[in-house]
Amino acid sequence: MKRFLPFELIAALRFLREGRMQTAFILAGVTIGVAVIVFMSALLAGLQANFIKRVLTSQAHVMLLPPEEVARPQRGGEPGVVEDAVVQRPAQRLRSIDQWQAILGQLREMPEVRIASPVAAGSALAVRGEASRSVTVTGVEPETYFQVVRLPDNIAAGTPRLTSQDIIIGTELARLVGVEVGDRLRLSAASGRDAVLTVTALFDLGNKQVNERSVFVALRTAQSLLGLEGGVTSLEITVGDVWAAEVIAQAIRRLTGIRADSWISTNIQFFTAVNAQQMTNTLIRVFVGLSVALGIASVLVVSVVQRSREIGILRAMGARRGQVMRIFLIQGGVLGLLGSLSGSLLGAGAVIAWHSLARQADGSELFPLILQASLFLGAAVLAMLTGVLAAMAPALRAARLDPVVAIRG
């Protein structure tokens, strides 16, 4: 088989085999480095997926809202007279988005938008006997809205059905007012209108305040209750790339002229934390890669010094500088490849073990286990490139050795 292999590969494998101790040490270093990269990357991917699941399944990626009302001082009066008036901010009335049907059609034609759903929301009182609680009534079209907010995935009891006579409430509100699935609950709005609805389901979004203050009804029911006949207070959408939500929101704002808030702008602290995690992970990978590269380079430099006589003999027998250089480049690539294979296995095993051990208080998983093939392929390519680049300096030194000087020692 060897006679079919290139000369450079045979020489590189022989040098690695003869220096078993050095090869073992550098392989161990590359293995640990790649294992750290794989572990950190898989852990960060799982944490980000968990973050998206917790934050973005209970809210829209982008929300379109009517413009806020602003009080302006009256101009005019007597010439030369300046009136220094204090203009107070007006109370924001519940208003509908102008021509929201046309805007909704524009949104649904945008390639970046997956789902767009109209919403009518406002404040009301949930009354049951002598118990009452202030709640936010959200009127939705369940066919589209439940694709924006995954409410059916968080149902604790009942069936998430919304007709004109139905209501879905949180588990905490149900406990406070003393209702169960099938009971009747009265909503009383500031407009003076009432609606008596049947509780069809109880949801649990993992937030006590949300479970206590949020209720969902059919869109037409909310419009009638809140005095918004035919109107909506927001348009909520999901996009294909959640990390581009702010850019898409700005594009929607330019297209429609309506205020558009992305989840990034409304959850800036969480977004900053995710960016900090990504930056930290990148820095760790860079420093680990540098340490691996320095380790490979140092071992190959020692190998060049130890094998200077053999290199001189090879040059005297007709080996070209390029062939000698490729011998050490191949050694770096082989070390990187073998180290990446063993490191990927070690890193994957560490992630699986940590995933099985790290649990939340209720016993559920702390983060989803995400092991993508692209992660291991990327680690292998990165380790091989690191090995080849680290071997560049020793390879150049070996190729520049004078054969006569090298043989004489």
- Pick the residue with more confidence: 223 or 190? 223
Helix axes 321-357, 7-18, angle to 10 degrees: 60
Cα 115 from Cα 376, distance rounded (Å): 34
Instruction: Give pLDDT tens digits for 90-109.
Output: 555 678 888 899 999 999 99
Q: What are the distances in angstroms from CA 286 to CA 47, 49, 78, 159, 294?
A: 20, 23, 70, 50, 12
Residue labelled with tokens 């020793």 = 394
How high is the mean pLDDT of the chain?
Answer: 81
72 is a domain residue: no
Residues 254 and 288 in one domain: no
The angle at the Cα of 176, spanning 174 to 178, to the nearest 5 degrees, equals 60
Q: CA-to-CA distance for 154 and 150, rounded, in angstroms?
A: 7
- Decide if 71 is inside a domain: no
Q: Are residues 148 and 215 in the same domain?
A: yes
In a domain, 264, yes or no: no
Q: Are residues 184 and 328 in the same domain?
A: no
Do residues 208 and 226 lie in contact, with contact meaning Cβ atoms separated by under 8 Å?
no
User: In angstroms, rounded to a whole number, what is the distance separating the alpha carbons of residues 379 and 374?
Assistant: 8
Q: What percent of the chain has pLDDT over 90?
A: 23
- Flag whether pLDDT at 308 surpasses 90: no
In angstroms, the CA 13 to CA 20 distance is 11
147 within a domain of the structure (yes/no): yes
- Choice between 58 and 92, residue whose per-residue pLDDT is larger: 58
Q: Are residues 228 and 294 in the same domain?
A: no
Encode pLDDT of 260-277 as tens digits.
988 888 877 777 777 777
Nearest to 139 by CA among 187, 206, 180: 187
> Which position has the higher pLDDT, 76 or 366?
366
Helices (H) and strands (E) in the chain, counts: 15, 10
Tell me: do 168 and 34 sit in the same domain: no
Token pair for 209:
């305040």
Distance CA(351)–CA(359), nearest Å, equals 13
Residue 92 vs residues 68, 126, 138, 191: alpha-carbon distances, Å:
7, 22, 18, 15
Q: Determine, yes or no, domain membership for 65.
A: no
Q: How many domains does the chain have?
A: 2
Is residue 295 in some structural domain?
Answer: yes
Are the C-beta atoms of residues 94 and 231 closer than 8 Å to each other? no
Distance CA 195, CA 174 (A): 17
pTM reported for the whole predicted model:
0.65
Whether 211 and 287 share a structural domain = no
- Which residue reads 């009517």 in tokens? 66
- Secondary structure (3-state) at 135: strand
Q: Which of 264, 59, 205, 225 is nearest to 126 (CA)?
A: 225
Q: Which long-range contacts (CB under 8 A, 24 or more apart) does 361-364 make?
A: none
Residues 254 and 126 placed together within one structural domain of the fold: yes
Q: Do residues 249 and 105 both lie within one domain?
A: yes
In a domain, 73, yes or no: no
Cβ pair 68, 233 in contact under 8 A: no
Rounded Cα gap, residues 70 and 66, in angstroms: 12
Give me 387's structure tokens: 């090995």
Whether residue 194 contacts residue 58, with contact meaning beta carbons closer than 8 Å, is answered with no
Torsion of CA 92, 251, 149, 141, to 10 degrees: 70
The answer to the question of residue 78 being in a domain is: no
For the chain, give the percent of residues with pLDDT over 70. 84
Q: Are residues 331 and 392 in the same domain?
A: yes
Banded model confidence at residue 69, pLDDT cuts 50, 70, 90: low
- Find the domain containing 313 and state its range: 2-55+271-408
Considering the domain architecture, whether residues 46 and 128 belong to the same structural domain is answered as no
Q: Are residues 113 and 22 in the same domain?
A: no
Take residue 108 and report the two structure tokens written for it: 């649904």
Top pLDDT among 73 and 149 is at 149
Quick one: 182 and 208 in the same domain? Answer: yes
Q: What is the pLDDT of residues 72-95, one digit of tens each?
A: 555 555 555 555 555 555 555 678
Q: Which range has the worst mean pLDDT, 46-55, 72-81, 311-320, 378-387?
A: 72-81
Distance CA 273, CA 275 (A): 5
